[in-house]
Structure 1
Amino acid sequence: MVSLPGETRLPLTPGQHLLDFLESIRPGGAAEAFNISFRLTIDGPLDRDRLFDAITQCVERHEALRTAIVRGRGMAEQVIGSTVEPALTVTPTSSRTWDEPEIERVLVEYNNAPFDLAHPPLLRVLLLENAAAQRRLLQVTVHHSVSDAWSLEVLKRDIGRFYRAGLEPKPAPPEVNYRQIVVAELAALETPEADAARAFWPDYVGSLEILQISGAVDAQDHQATTSRGDRGLTAPEIAAVRALSGKLRVTPFMVIAAAYGLTLGHLGRCDAYLMPTFSHGRRDPRFHQSVAMLFNPFMLEFRWSPEQSFADLVASFKQSCLKAYRFQWYPFIEVLEVCPELSVAMIDPNSALFPVQMLNVPKTEVGAALFGPDCVAADYALHRTSVGNVLPIDGLLTIKAAQEAMAMTFNAAQRLWNDELAAAMCATIIDLCVEAARDPGVPLRQLAGAIDRRFDSTVWSL
């Protein structure tokens, strides 16, 4: 391909290699998994033209939103273009509430329509509008190859800042542009840490199994769809997890993840397996205000034996976490060469490596703060979503709150499987954590009995 004026060509980052590989083996089939959205309800006299102008200015501000993923010269690369306009769709509606099945069907269908990765911007906007009632539902969808969960919050914030430009100064340009971030990501692959990772991972990955779990499929639409809802911890349960994590000198999420891993391993009759985990590339605070897809995939080891105590399990799991994060620059494409079946597990909507990670993303303030004093905005989540919209995500070492960890656990379990199984999974994890809080030396053989009491083996396929 011939470069056009204003274009910048760059290699793909490790995380983009992952998405490009999956797209190449199943073109368009990963849309449900790799199209990510934020949704806002907006009540009040919103200026539609000013909103769309704000979104266009965001595309101009963030180079990643003007980036295409193209194949040429024998390999994929990313091309940063110049001015492009996003697709903006307005759909009138008479609905005064947003919890109707038809509304959710429209949002999911719009989110899951494939992007052509070679034609930016990889962003589109849907506005459901009840003009008479001054009620709107905004969905902004971006392809994951140029954005991540952190980026959605940046994008949400910047749309509000450009919309309010008449009330306050326009936001200053980002401290670093996208191409500088990509160069920094690629430079990190040439560090001594990356060299150590290349020497470490082949034996490490080759010695372990990949645990896959397939959940129930909806008989009507042949796709696993589940209702959304968080299973939080009660105050005594939170206190138990925090006390145990303090006693064992780990994060609360490490306690929960260890209980999670034990549950999966026992049910799958597997004493050593891999958990996928990702590290987002926001180490440099200058990157915090940027839209980009910044994560680096690597694998996390999980081993257990019935003779261990829960305290021993958590200690070994902690060491595995710390070891894995030392090698966060290991390129995913090399993991695929060692363990090619991993790609199948991550793209098949009815079979997935179970994500046990957390992402600690700074949330953008909504309410009257986002679009000014006349409009009230609120985050909106679908009650029903397809299983493909779950991705393994990162931040295992950054999570602080047990409440958020369990809420994420429940939501991930629901989307991957079904409500009954998700509830059993989360209840089991809480049982294990509370019992271990009473006695961290409790043998895993004893805790395995608690797992068996919660589960009907017929709902599992491993």
Structure 2
Amino acid sequence: MTEIRLPLTPGQHLLDFLESIRPGGAAAAFNISFRLTVDGPLDRNRLFDAIAASIERHDALRTALVRGRGMAEQVIGSGVAPETIVERAPPGSWATEQLAIERMLVTHNNAPFDLTRPPLVRVLLLEDESDERRLLQVTVHHSVADAWSLEVLKNDIGQHYRAAAGSAPTPTPPEVRYEQIVLDELAALESPRADAARAFWPEYLGEVEILRMPGKYAAQWQDRAITSRGDRSVTATESAAVRALAGKLRATPFMLIAAAYGLLVGHLCGREAYLMPTFGHGRRDPRLHQAVAMLFNPFLITFRWSPRMSFAELVAAFKQSCLMAYPHQWYPFIEVLEICPELSVSLIEPESALFPVQMLNIPKAPSGSALFGPGCVTADYALHRTSVGNVLPIDGMLTVKGTQEGMAMTFNAAQRLWNDELASAICAAVVDICLAAARNPGVELRRLTETIDGRFDSTLWSV
């Protein structure tokens, strides 16, 4: 196959920009993974063949980033195999050895890629002594894939694995080739939509700034190799209350949680207006739902509140702000930085801590025997120790995941700023706010800030 050379997409250009201001960052930090526990018999060779077939199916996974003629470009190759490591898990039960296992996964995830040598994919398979449980981690560099892509890749690997046993059809080529996706991304910058976005963003963002919050625990966490995370699961009863309130306020449950989160951060920082970073998944065209590519795009929402507002008024104002920004969320963030130069200063400040709400509806992986076939049960492995780097120099991220039964929130804390105690308090406080508002949507925000204060004290927070 002849090499295909293409310009970088706007998303790749953003990573390249971040690499230019933090040399080594793109190679060391921008790695993303999916992890699965696999119980039951698994054909190792068939698994590795399925991974190789999935890489061959998606051009993005065979892409290298190179510099030529003074600028970066991407080159699509073929016939490349990923680095694959098979190791024994630490002796003992998976539960008792969780920390040791997670350290192995984090070390594997964080190892830098050589961006000039595809595929930008690596595989780690941990096996126990009985060969009845395995833990699979597939790591991809963020320049060629995003979080949505990981779910696509996971399902592709499963289908190729089952197809080799005759229990599933072989995946067909993607409906839209990667080359066309890249060209369409670049063509959009010359469209009338781009002109409208260039006019919108400077006026919408105005003089409002992103919060910058030096961490109290900076010295304590400076040399730590891994970070922690706090979780708060919402019960079915609590979820039903939040969903009922969302219906009453003509909003989504996610908007309620995001509004509560915005109130919490604004109150703790003493700011009644700020910019809330968030993300779009970049797959408005349904044909791209099965594509592997780096299509996510960060963008910003203005957040404003005052103590005398009711929670219902806060949600209405936040919803209106979101609706204004959403039509332009596709516009590349790297371009927003160029037309709003003062914004870039806040974003690249190494000691700043940004608090985005991740508005990303990622399809969940199949459970049970759906992925690798009968007799082989899989489940997502929740890693409670995360990698040091994020895609942007973002030092905090609240992830909200929803199902019909309940919602779960995770705060991924930056290693040099926060700890589990603070992360858990943030998640719990967001739930407190939502449940208090569910009982009385007209409650004033000054009352809800008292709820927040009950979760935080001087030993936890420093701005």
Aligned partner (choices 93, 109, 112) of residue 111 of structure 1: 109
Structure 2 distance, partners of 1:400, 1:139, is 24
Q: Tell me if 1:282 matches 2:291.
A: no
Q: Tell me if 1:157 matches 2:155.
A: yes
1:191-217 deviation per Cα after TM superposition (whole angstroms, max 9, x unaligned): 322211101212333411111334435
Q: Tell me if 1:367 matches 2:368.
A: yes
CA 1:144 to 1:80, structure 2 compared with 1: closer, same or farther past 3 Å?
same
Structure 2 distance, partners of 1:248, 1:135, is 46
The corresponding residue for 2:213 is: 213
Aligned partner (choices 338, 341, 345) of residue 345 of structure 2: 341
The corresponding residue for 2:386 is: 385
Structure 2 distance, partners of 1:399, 1:326, is 23
Which amino acid in 2 is paired with 1:11? P
Which amino acid in 1 is paired with 2:128? N
Structure 2 distance, partners of 1:389, 1:356, is 14
CA 1:323 to 1:396, structure 2 compared with 1: closer, same or farther past 3 Å?
farther
The corresponding residue for 2:175 is: 175
Aligned partner (choices 82, 94, 112) of residue 86 of structure 1: 82
Structure 1: runs of 5+ lacking an equivalent: none
Deviation at 1:459, TM superposition (A): 2.7
Query: Counterparts of 1:175-194 in structure 2 under 5 Å?
Result: 175-194=175-194
2:346–2:352 contact (8 Å) kept in structure 1? no
CA 1:433 to 1:212, structure 2 compared with 1: closer, same or farther past 3 Å?
same
1:251–1:399 contact (8 Å) kept in structure 2? no
Deviation at 1:225, TM superposition (A): 4.9
Deviation at 1:62, TM superposition (A): 0.4
The SS at the match of 1:340 is helix
Structure 1 distance, partners of 2:397, 2:183, is 22
Query: Counterparts of 1:258-337 in structure 2 under 5 Å?
Result: 258-337=259-338
The SS at the match of 2:406 is helix
Aligned partner (choices 23, 43, 51) of residue 19 of structure 2: 23
More moved, 70-79 vs 259-268:
70-79
Aligned partner (choices 59, 67, 72) of residue 68 of structure 2: 72
More moved, 185-194 vs 254-263:
185-194
Q: Tell me if 1:34 matches 2:30.
A: yes
Structure 2: runs of 5+ lacking an equivalent: none
Structure 1 distance, partners of 2:456, 2:20, is 38
CA 1:8 to 1:213, structure 2 compared with 1: closer, same or farther past 3 Å?
same
Which amino acid in 2 is paired with 1:162? H
1:59–1:66 contact (8 Å) kept in structure 2? yes
Which amino acid in 1 is paired with 2:133? R
More moved, 259-268 vs 64-73:
64-73
More moved, 277-286 vs 104-113:
277-286
The corresponding residue for 2:454 is: 453
RMSD between aligned alpha carbons? 2.9
Which amino acid in 1 is paired with 2:33? S
CA 1:119 to 1:370, structure 2 compared with 1: closer, same or farther past 3 Å?
same
Structure 2 distance, partners of 1:232, 1:21, is 37
Which amino acid in 2 is paired with 1:253? F
Deviation at 1:127, TM superposition (A): 1.5
More moved, 374-383 vs 244-253:
374-383
1:102-161 deviation per Cα after TM superposition (whole angstroms, max 9, x unaligned): 222111101001112222111011112336434322111001111111111111111112
Structure 2 distance, partners of 1:288, 1:147, is 13
2:297–2:333 contact (8 Å) kept in structure 1? yes
2:226–2:386 contact (8 Å) kept in structure 1? yes
Structure 1 distance, partners of 2:375, 2:434, is 46
CA 1:285 to 1:320, structure 2 compared with 1: closer, same or farther past 3 Å?
same
CA 1:351 to 1:109, structure 2 compared with 1: closer, same or farther past 3 Å?
farther
Structure 2 distance, partners of 1:424, 1:359, is 23
The SS at the match of 2:355 is coil
TM-score by length of 2: 0.88
The SS at the match of 1:312 is helix
The corresponding residue for 1:424 is: 425
TM-score by length of 1: 0.89
Structure 1 distance, partners of 2:134, 2:437, is 48
The SS at the match of 1:159 is helix
Aligned residues: percent identity? 67
CA 1:272 to 1:124, structure 2 compared with 1: closer, same or farther past 3 Å?
same
More moved, 285-294 vs 424-433:
424-433
Deviation at 1:284, TM superposition (A): 1.3
Structure 2 distance, partners of 1:250, 1:224, is 40
Q: How many correspondences in the alignment?
A: 452
2:27–2:115 contact (8 Å) kept in structure 1? no
The SS at the match of 1:37 is strand
